[in-house]
């Protein structure tokens, strides 16, 4: 039994996320976790809310609440939405947890002892209008590299170049819009990433199986301009992990906190400690410490491309720099962006479908199927309501739903709600089993390689193969001349429903559960032997006819949703 540690990029606390955020990390991570559990492997799937930094402070102020109270409430909101999408986290933690505070301070102390943190007196952007130092992400201006007009003070989202606020052309505060920014003296800690460039580069070069998207971004940051730069890891803020060397105070750093991008990835480890503290598991060290058993673990991270630099450089620099036996990531699955109806999702303008709205419109399986089958892997992809409607109606309703309905209802009308006896499989069944066997091999290979769209395509083809078989074999016609032949066709078709329940579970878990209940199954065992799996429901086994699995999306509904989600949220 293999062991898989799986983490999703942790969503920021300030608001409900849109579908692009979902498909860029949490949803494909859940797909992989469910698949590995289905294959009988041991899985620890972790995620959390990212709660520190200025955005949390501002969102709390806007809501008129203390920041700690706001974060606690929004954590539960996000956790509930995650449950709505059936994200099967073993634990959904919080970066503001005591465990993460202790670990972050521990790493800072160890890195300092190893000479990998330096103190820097620097000038930082201060906004007299806002009465505060401005974190990098709250300064925007024109990128000096590509001319993008909404580049942030730490990075240009258009060309991904790492920036400092002073690099920006015409910078302004995103809090107030003020342009009267000035540089003031302050002292901060820097992680000496430059001292680890060769070690990081060798580690990245050893990952020959990583997606091109992941390695290209990592190497761009390694070699861009003057090469890998040291990174500030503290900020002048109130909300965050207080700066300490382990348990000791850090002279000169009073009143400062660690930068959110330093403490947030450490939460992956802390989350496992929280998992144990919550009574959900035991022995977190066997997942995270290589001298305690984690050397046998395969660790996979899922994230959008904007998070790649921090997970290929910053967090590994923290882990490697500590000199301690922490588990390093084995595979980073990164995703491009999902766009919306010819433009971008916009949280500020409410443009696009947000996770809470999606669940209010249709059940989660509809969204899971479309998002995963259109995952932005090799390039950006685009959500359109026309495409969504077509995919739901054709893939889910016409292919899978129609097959299940026709088989179970026909069997009930001719043989009752039991698997029929009689008849033998012939050439048609042999051809179908051979075809399905090849497709199952390809499906498993795609899932093992985390090729999400390819896996979805193979799953749909497996559904379609059953539909084509049913149409060709035509048990309703065979029944008139040879009831036993019809019984054999129906028996195999009912076993196909069982197969679909197993294979579809990572993509559409609620539908899989309905099929499991209809077929009276206690477990959903993976079909290691396909021929045997297609005889698992023996003659005489009872089943029930499920309600219609999927409803079609109507034209008028599509038009209404297009209008409703095109602009500002209420």
Binding residues for Zn(2+): 143, 146, 156, 159
SS3 542: strand
Alpha helices in 46-155 (DSSP H): 54-63, 67-84, 98-113
φ, ψ of residue 213 to 5 degrees: the values are -55, -45
Binding site feature residues for ATP: 347
| CB 228 within 8 Å of CB 317 | no
| CB 462 within 8 Å of CB 484 | no
Residue 41, Cβ density class (10 Å: 0-12 exposed, 13-18 middle, ≥19 buried): middle
β-partners of residue 354 are: 18
Q: Which tokens sit at 150? A: 């909404």
Q: Distance between CA atoms of 533 and 278, rounded to whole angstroms?
A: 38
β-partners of residue 122 are: 186
Binding site feature residues: 143, 146, 156, 159, 347
Q: Distance between CA atoms of 313 and 305, rounded to whole angstroms?
A: 13
Cα dihedral 341→346→349→353 (10° resolution): 60
Residue 480, Cβ density class (10 Å: 0-12 exposed, 13-18 middle, ≥19 buried): exposed
Rounded to 5°, the CA angle 160-94-13 comes to: 55
| CB 237 within 8 Å of CB 57 | yes
């Amino acid at each position: 039994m293999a062991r898989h540690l799986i983490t999703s990029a942790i969503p920021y606390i300030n608001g409900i996320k849109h579908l692009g955020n979902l498909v860029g990390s949490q949803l494909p991570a859940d797909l992989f976790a469910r698949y590995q559990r289905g294959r009988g492997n041991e899985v620890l799937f972790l995620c959390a809310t990212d709660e520190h930094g200025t955005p949390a402070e501002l969102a709390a102020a806007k809501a008129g609440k203390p920041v700690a109270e706001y974060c606690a409430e929004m954590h539960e909101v996000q956790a509930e939405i995650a449950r709505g999408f059936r994200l099967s986290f073993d634990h959904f933690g919080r970066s503001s947890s005591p465990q993460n505070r202790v670990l972050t301070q521990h790493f800072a102390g160890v890195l300092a002892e190893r000479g990998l943190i330096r103190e820097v007196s620097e000038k930082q952007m201060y906004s007299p209008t806002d009465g505060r130092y401005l974190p990098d992400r709250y300064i925007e201006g024109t990128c000096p590299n590509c001319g993008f007009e909404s580049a942030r003070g730490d990075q240009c989202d258009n060309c991904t170049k790492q920036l400092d606020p002073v690099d920006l052309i015409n910078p302004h505060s995103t809090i107030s819009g003020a342009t009267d920014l000035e540089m003031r003296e302050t002292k901060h800690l820097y992680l000496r990433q430059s001292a680890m460039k060769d070690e990081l580069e060798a580690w990245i070069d050893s990952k020959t199986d990583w997606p091109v998207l992941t390695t290209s971004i990592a190497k761009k940051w390694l070699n861009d301009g003057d090469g890998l730069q040291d990174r500030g890891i503290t900020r002048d803020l109130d909300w965050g992990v207080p700066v300490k060397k382990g348990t000791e105070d850090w002279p000169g750093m009073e009143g400062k906190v660690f930068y959110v991008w330093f403490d947030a990835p450490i939460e992956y480890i802390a989350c496992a400690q929280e998992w144990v503290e919550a009574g959900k598991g035991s022995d977190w060290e066997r997942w995270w410490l290589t001298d305690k058993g984690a050397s046998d673990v395969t660790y996979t991270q899922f994230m959008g491309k904007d998070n790649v630099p921090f997970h290929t450089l910053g967090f590994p620099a923290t882990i490697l720099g500590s000199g301690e036996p922490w588990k390093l990531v084995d595979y980073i699955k990164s995703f491009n962006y999902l766009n919306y109806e010819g433009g971008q999702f916009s949280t500020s303008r409410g443009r696009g479908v947000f996770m809470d709205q999606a669940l209010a419109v249709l059940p989660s399986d509809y969204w899971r199927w479309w998002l995963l089958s259109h995952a932005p892997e090799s390039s950006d992809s685009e959500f359109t309501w026309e495409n969504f409607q077509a995919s739901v109606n054709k893939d889910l309703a016409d292919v899978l739903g129609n097959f299940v309905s026709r088989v179970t209802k026909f069997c009930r009308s001719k043989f009752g709600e039991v698997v029929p006896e009689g008849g033998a499989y012939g050439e048609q069944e042999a051809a179908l089993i051979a075809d399905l066997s090849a497709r199952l091999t390809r499906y498993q290979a795609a899932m093992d390689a985390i090729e999400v769209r390819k896996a979805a395509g193979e799953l749909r083809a497996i559904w379609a193969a059953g539909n084509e078989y049913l149409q060709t074999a035509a048990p309703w016609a065979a029944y008139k001349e040879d009831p036993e032949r019809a019984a054999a066709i129906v028996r195999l078709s009912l076993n196909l429903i069982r197969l679909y329940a197993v294979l579809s579970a990572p993509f559409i878990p609620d539908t899989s559960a309905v099929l499991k209940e209809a077929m009276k199954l206690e477990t959903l065992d993976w079909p290691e032997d396909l021929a045997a799996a297609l005889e698992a429901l023996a003659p005489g086994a009872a089943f029930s006819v499920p309600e219609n699995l999927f409803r079609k999306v109507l034209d008028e509904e599509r038009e209404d949703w297009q209008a409703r989600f095109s602009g500002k949220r209420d």
